[in-house]
């Protein structure tokens, strides 16, 4: 798999058109790594000259900030900004809405000004530029519902890019009763991913999975590694893992190409 790092690019005197910010989940989490690889595959097929930071990348600071540790967040942010600025990065794409939100909205005041895109936005732009073709492949005619990640949807108003990509696949896009700006959180945001939930009568991911089950999808599409984890847990909790797949949009597009 061709994954050049910024350091390698620099050594060759090249600069990439876009930096792929992989994020911690995309780098370490077994499930999310598949999303990362699917996205890289699409980038390579579309002949996008990209690079990653590799071991120079570090947590964006989002979970620290949302958990109230502003010190740690700003330490992370400023260290990352120093590296990004040293490489003169202009454009960043990431498959994690949390990194996306933080890099896009919270880094500029600290000196990091980049054009930041979520991978669904980026794929949509490749599609619009004719660099990417989307085939329906094995998913043709299947029912797909899209779970809006809070940090993509409500936080940044991006609802259509992921849907536009899904619609290109010749599938049946079905909306949950709570979708877009009314979408229900998967339960992972605000650093909840890293702790047990407070006591209550239900897990949020179960509540959200029930929303999805109501529309009887074959696939629950997501655009966030954390939502992916939560929805996968929800499907397991409901013992539906044989009938329903939870997939990132990048994975759907990449496997349709096969």
Site for another protein in 37-76 (CB under 8 A): 37, 40, 52, 54-55, 57-59, 61, 63-72, 74-76
177 is a contact residue toward another protein (CB under 8 A)? no
Give the nearer residue to another protein in terms of CB position, either 77 or 165.
77
**Cβ proximity of 251 and 219 under 8 Å:** no
> Distance (Å, rounded) from C-alpha 85 to C-alpha 83?
5
Tracing tokens 């009314």 back to the chain, one arrives at 182
Instruction: Give the interface segment with another protein, choosing from 13-21, 167-175, 180-188, 233-241 (CB under 8 A).
Output: 180-188
Q: What number of chain residues touch another protein (CB under 8 A)?
A: 73
113 is a contact residue toward another protein (CB under 8 A)? no
Give the nearer residue to another protein in terms of CB position, either 156 or 245.
156
Main-chain phi, psi angles of 20, to 5 degrees: -90, 110
**Of residues 24, 93, 213, 253, which one binds another protein by CB under 8 A?**
24
Q: 3-class DSSP state for residue 101?
A: helix
141 is a contact residue toward another protein (CB under 8 A)? no
**Cβ proximity of 150 and 182 under 8 Å:** no
Tracing tokens 């108003």 back to the chain, one arrives at 157
Per the document, the length of the chain is 258
198 is a contact residue toward another protein (CB under 8 A)? yes
In whole angstroms, the minimum distance from the beta carbon of 130 to another protein comes to 28
**Cβ proximity of 93 and 119 under 8 Å:** yes
> Distance (Å, rounded) from C-alpha 231 to C-alpha 229?
6
194 is a contact residue toward another protein (CB under 8 A)? yes
Give the nearer residue to another protein in terms of CB position, either 22 or 42.
22
């Amino acid at each position: 798999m061709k994954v050049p790092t910024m350091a390698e690019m620099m050594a060759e005197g090249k600069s990439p058109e876009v930096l792929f910010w992989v994020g911690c989940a995309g780098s370490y989490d077994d499930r999310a790594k598949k999303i990362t690889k699917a996205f890289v595959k699409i980038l390579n097929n579309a002949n996008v000259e990209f690079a990653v930071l590799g071991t120079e990348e570090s947590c964006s600071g989002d979970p620290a900030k949302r958990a109230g540790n502003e010190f740690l967040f700003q330490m992370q942010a400023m260290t990352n900004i120093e590296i990004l600025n040293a490489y003169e990065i202009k454009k960043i794409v990431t498959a994690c809405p949390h990194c996306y939100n933080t890099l896009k909205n919270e880094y500029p005041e600290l000196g990091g000004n980049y054009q930041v895109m979520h991978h669904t936005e980026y794929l949509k732009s490749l599609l619009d530029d004719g660099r990417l073709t989307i085939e329906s492949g094995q998913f043709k005619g299947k029912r797909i519902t899209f779970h809006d990640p809070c940090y993509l949807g409500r936080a940044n108003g991006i609802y259509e890019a992921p849907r536009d990509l899904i619609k290109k696949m010749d599938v049946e896009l079905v909306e949950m009763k709570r979708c877009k700006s009314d979408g229900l959180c998967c339960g992972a945001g605000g650093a909840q991913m890293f702790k047990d939930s407070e006591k209550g009568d239900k897990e949020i991911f179960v509540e959200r999975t029930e929303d999805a089950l109501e529309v009887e999808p074959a696939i629950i599409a997501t655009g966030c590694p954390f939502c992916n984890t939560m929805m996968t847990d929800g499907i397991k909790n409901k013992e539906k893992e044989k009938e329903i797949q939870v997939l990132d949009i990048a994975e759907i597009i990449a496997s349709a190409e096969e």
